[in-house]
Structure 1
Amino acid sequence: MVMSLILIILFFPFCTSLDTLTPDQSIKDGQSLISKENNFALGFFSPGNSSYQYLGIWYVKVTKQTVVWVANRNNPINDSSGVLSINQFGNLVLHDSYNRLLWSTNVSIQGTTSSVAQLQDSGNLVLFQGNNKLVLWQSFDCPTDTLLPGMRLGLNRITGLDRFLTSWKSKDDPGTGDYFHKMNPTGSPQIFLYKGSTLYWRSGPWPWQTSSPAAIVSLDFKYDFVNNEDEVSYAYFANDPSIISRVVVDNSGLLQKLVWNDGDLQWKEFWSAPKYRCDKYAQCGAFSKCGPESPNNSNWFECACLPGYEPKSPRDWSLRNGSEGCVRKESMCGNEEGFVMMKRLKGPDSSNAAWMDMSMSSSECEQACLSNCSCTAFISMNIDGMGTRCLAWYGELMDLVENTYEMWDLNVRVDATELATYTSKSEGFLGHKRQVAIAISTVVVPLFLVSFIAYMCLMKKRKTKRTLKRKLQNQSLNFIGFKGSLEGNELEDSSRHPDLSIFNLSCLVTATGNFSPTNKLGQGGFGSVFKGQLSNGQQIAVKRLSKNSGQGIEEFKNEVVLIAKLQHRNLVKLLGCCIQEEERMLIYEYMPNKSLDSFIFDHTRSSLLNWRKRFEIIIGIARGILYLHQDSRLRIIHRDLKTSNVLLDGEMNPKISDFGIARIFKGDQIQDKTTRVVGTYGYMSPEYAIFEKFSTKSDVFSFGVILLEIVSGKKNNGSYHKQDSLTLIGHVWELWREGRALDIVDSSINDSFVYHEVVRCIQIGLLCVQEDAMDRPTMLAVLLMLSCETTLPSPKQPAFIFRRPTNDLGSITGGGVYSINDVTITEFEAR
């Protein structure tokens, strides 16, 4: 009896904690956690022919080892010395035999540091705090290349957490590969597959219940789609729990849904993309559709222009190259128009599409689109639980594919001539009644036209003065696509930007107290910014360009068009504009906390931003720039990123502003050159300031400067101690080489900063400001480095270590001109 009791006591821990890791336990090579129902294991493995070791999660019931998650994917272990444990701060940490930190959950834990990690049967590794089961971290929020049932893919709008898949480098290397599978929340949400920063494949527009091939092929799976103020994401579930399935981004660029077959012990492909030529994103360019291959036609060409459009490059088209797409045959807006229905299509890229606010019939949807000159197409569909909804496109129609699993009926806008052509084709012949109707119309229509012309001439005489005034105003408005009236106080725009308003000058004069100095928020080279309040109580910020502003009509147009198309929680929201008399104004959402520089460079206010808030601001800025570079429909280079152009809302969330000198990159374009260097000295990359070349890496350089300024609370163009010639970059670089990088940390956050986070941020900042643009990381890599604990490369010597006299700026830029565009919704220092 005594011996039995001793055996029970000795073996009790091993019988109760197979799926759980506590602070007094660790996992070494050869040991593992096993989930409760024996579904998944967590331990060390070596992929393929690799001799390196990684910490990962794999299936237990699948005989062919299949890894679904890797912790240290970019930081392998050279031997079998890896140890996983929970440290004194409550974080999961991975060390090697040299006690080097290779990976960590890296979360801030308040109060007790007692934590427990558990491997769940879903394949999710969860870190709980104490006995209250508060989730501190979970592997489902840091996916690698695999999406498991119940795992969400997409964006949490509250926390900014973006969950996406990244391929392995190869079968033997789980490091971050070239392919990314992630959500694009712009317009009507879609999921894209990227190759680097280039769009490679796209799902159908939201809601995917009607467009997911897997949903049509089988009823074995169900899908959950969320799109609200808090989150935009999707997950899938297996109706039969015994089905073992996964979605994976292969290193070859194939997105696959796989199901395990116990019969032949193999993974079977349930669905995959891209498979065919037409699956490649925008294979046939804009306003064109890509059709299936015809094996019996040797002259087959997959591309065909939409009704009312013709090839943009007839020569390329004749050579079977449709990448340039199609263009409208002639201007249609203002003529008698209608819609031609294109059946069984994959809906166009919906980044520039918008759902109507209310349920409407197909005819109401048609009229709504027809009344908007920039509306090019619409789809009317019935959605379970939501009734009939209308999705309208404004601008280009991109990436249309016919005869797919997705059965959308797209209504394309055409003029009367094209409409008649397609109508006659569909009818085949005209019946007797049709002929009679046409005969009657030949008499009635001319009479109607004569009466109409007479009426219009009469109205024109009565409204000559007002018409002339409108013409002058609309000449300024038309270049950005506005054709609405300027009457009234505040009018909703009816053109290509449905969320943008045209403000009347009198409305803004009233809102700002006639631009009273007491409402002035800031001033710079391009004018002033005023706080205002509309009649409905909404607070606004009005950017009023001075008449002698260095920002001309092109910069103004650029800012309006760009910001109107951008929607992201870390970008400032443009509410509208005003072009009236000699005034040009932009109306933004009001940022009560002004700009970032008003905090970090102010000794009395810098303490209001502790390290946790500064780190969140850094992450937010990085997410905003990543959206500009990769996730927005157009790749945008800001060119003037600086702390004064980062605004803070009421909750201190960062929002990037001032797009007056931003540039758009199209397609595979990665670099451009300018003859007019504009920007802010101290934030400009060397290739831009000296050689007039700019790219996404130019913005990365600016972000690196901002990051170092946030950490240090010092300006880059300041002087440091006795080294008056050193910039902040140079000062940090010297301290980094001496192993004293923490000496740069702002003294106001000494009591709040997390050691390894600050060191990591300083290292990332130095990586971003390296002299050679090729050495700098992309913003996607920066965000990954900030979010996950991986070993970072050693930075090379940065650019602009030393300050130059202000009278030598011309030699730096080759005679370039520095922009004085320093107007943002904040307080400013003129350049």
Structure 2
Amino acid sequence: MLFVCVFFAYSCLALLMSTGIADATTIQLLEDSETLFSPNAKYRLGFFSPPDNTNRYLGISFNAVSPTYYFWIANRNNPVKDSSGVLRISEGGILEIVNGRNNTLWSFNSSSQALNATRKIQLLDSGNLQLIELDKGGNSRVIWQSFEYPTDALLPSMSISISIQNTTATKLQAWKSPSDPSEGRFTLALDSATNTQVIVWDGDQRHYRTGPWNGNLFLGLIYPDSTNDYADTFIQKNVAQDEVIFLYIGVNQLSFPHYYFSYDGTVSEIYWDLGKKSWQTLYKVPDDLCDYYGKCGDFGICDPVKSPICQCLKGFVPKNSREWKAGNWSSGCVRRTTLQCGKQGGGKPDGFQVLNTVKLPDLEVWLQGINLINCRTMCLNNCSCLAYAYDQGAGCMYWTNTLIDIQQFPSSGITLNLRLAHSELGNKGRPKVVNAAAVTVGNKGRLKAVIAATVTIALIVLRMWFNRWKAKQASKRSILDHLNHGDHKNQTKLEELPLIDFKDLAVATDNFHHNTLLGRGGFGKVYKGLLGDGREIAVKRLSAASLQGVEEFTNEVIVISRLQHKNLVSLIGFCVEGEEKLLVYEYMPNKSLSAFLFDSTKRELLDWPTRFNIIEGICRGLIYLHRDSRLRIIHRDLKASNILLDEQLNPKIADFGMARIFGHGQDKDETRRIVGTYGYMAPEYAMDGHFSEKSDVYSFGVLLLEILTAQKNNAFWYEDESLTLLGYVWKLWVEGDAGSIIDPLISDPLNKKEIDRSIVVGLLCVQENVNDRPNMSNVMSMFSSEIADLPQPKEPGFNKRHMFMDATSSNLNQMSGGALSMTAVSGR
């Protein structure tokens, strides 16, 4: 939970290296091929290369976990370009990293001189790297330590800090990308030394905040009961009243507890589960749309279980109604009735509307030393006071300029007292109706009045139910209308597909709790759920900012509801309520092919027979789409993350939001709205908008080569010639050395014939000319050796990186807004 949410103690004479002898007394260095372990062997220091990156960095990682995870990096902004890097202590006592040309890439230079002392490095059992100084008497002192210079993680005994004058601060800086550890766009830091809270910054814009610290916890975090035993522990320390330090204590019961600050701006408290042998998440923020700073603008409140998620506070109305209805709430709300404070005329005084269990707004003013009653009186007498709150630890807080970043919590949270004009207080609508009924009955008795009021309320409830039912029918009808205005109307019985209530999906996913989150992408998030009948489901919840709009959502419902094949994912139902658009699928326990293929540990489960079964399954699914179903479907977004795996790792093609239905006799089409994922798009589609089943064949070829090499095409970089994965495989094949890039886990003499044949099939599928590519039926025949002699492949399309970038960028000005779907890259 975020904020709820080793040192190899060698003898002072030697440094033990994993690769052999490395005596710090005489050598005082760590070469690229060497590793330094902590005494308990839980941590290690060494050089490494991130995924899809050949540069070398010196980092500290958790030992005996997979995948390897580096929580501290020395030269993150200045990597070593080859394996010549060395960590050493210079003659002047400077700790530094140098390359083969003796250029200093990173260093720590102490102001104190090591004249009559020896300096050593040691890795402690806490994961802290220290530079220590030993004098001739055997006394030691710490000159420098890594825990004082965190990069993107907080381990127990690490801290973040800020000075009273805000002149110095210790912060976390996220990676630029999953393969680039240099400092990225997101920063985590304390906001101030007075009203202290933790802020995640996106450049110079607030991205997320924890709410203020009350001496025990952060008031803007939800602390669920299920994780109370593992709640994070922070201690606030003031050093000589000049600096505020938040020291992370961690959870003793857990293995390797720490905070991880991801390249995408999320912060997670995670630990290593010894039983499952995997990283588990206690808490993560931001976790839903309401967590993002100021989602609903000024005087708006965000509730993730409502639709739409943004509402104006009571007494306020949208500042821009048109934007608000369109789902853009950034303009916020404005007050409907002016406050009376400071005005003459005898109007009734302002009062307060109570909002329970909320995340308090940002930019509060603190007033120490007064109680709750005095806090209320102060706000009422201060014409600038818009709202107040009181917490036993934090004291009195009030707001004067605006109220922004308010969130409704299901539990926890604080009570906010919102100042309103007297006419805005209370429930105005319902009492008027009830009172009218009471006047009608006059003096005929209280019983009749009660009956009249009850009947009136019942009618109101019935009307609300009817309106809700009508809205649901309208939502479903809108999809049917979209179908009936298309080219293939009346070809499906969409009514047979269940329209599921949003509240039922909220219950099934525990109100879309972060513990049920399966994954996320440009479209939104996918949650695991359990229906009342015991069926496990995957719920795809499109975000308001999704690249997949109403057209794509409707398209996916229409297309997939007509398809039945064992290699296509099954759609169970859908939900459209207000701003919410959700698709309900069968649950696939092994997630996507991408989650296995590009993970160094899970990939071991993909031996060659399993991979070949996946390849054939994808092929059969595409043949069904292109030729065997009653409709001809072009998928247009085939990639590893859209191939889901069941319990036996059998593949199922998913995500039909970009798919197109071809009419009878139609074999190609064109569009100015380019959708899909670059790296998988065929040249004729990315360049000119022309697509056909051969476009899917090209994407299949890219996917096939990725399965063979365990490399991502859109992340592969061959520096000498700027070749893409396709270009590099082509180059090696022409040279007769294509086997050298095959994933070593499947590179076995027993598989060689089948793998060599698959390489050729992959290259045939990605040929630049559309007419040169085989169709999927021919591809299947090539795999089964029904076509014994394979034709010679021609050069692939997009085989060089610069060509690919020029081609795609030149076409951007032809695209309609939001049409481009980018691949979601998983974290480290």
Classify the TM-score, shorter chain. Answer: 0.3 to 0.5
TM-score, normalization by structure 1: 0.46
TM-score, normalization by structure 2: 0.46
Q: Which has the higher contact order (CA 8 A, sep 6+)?
A: 1
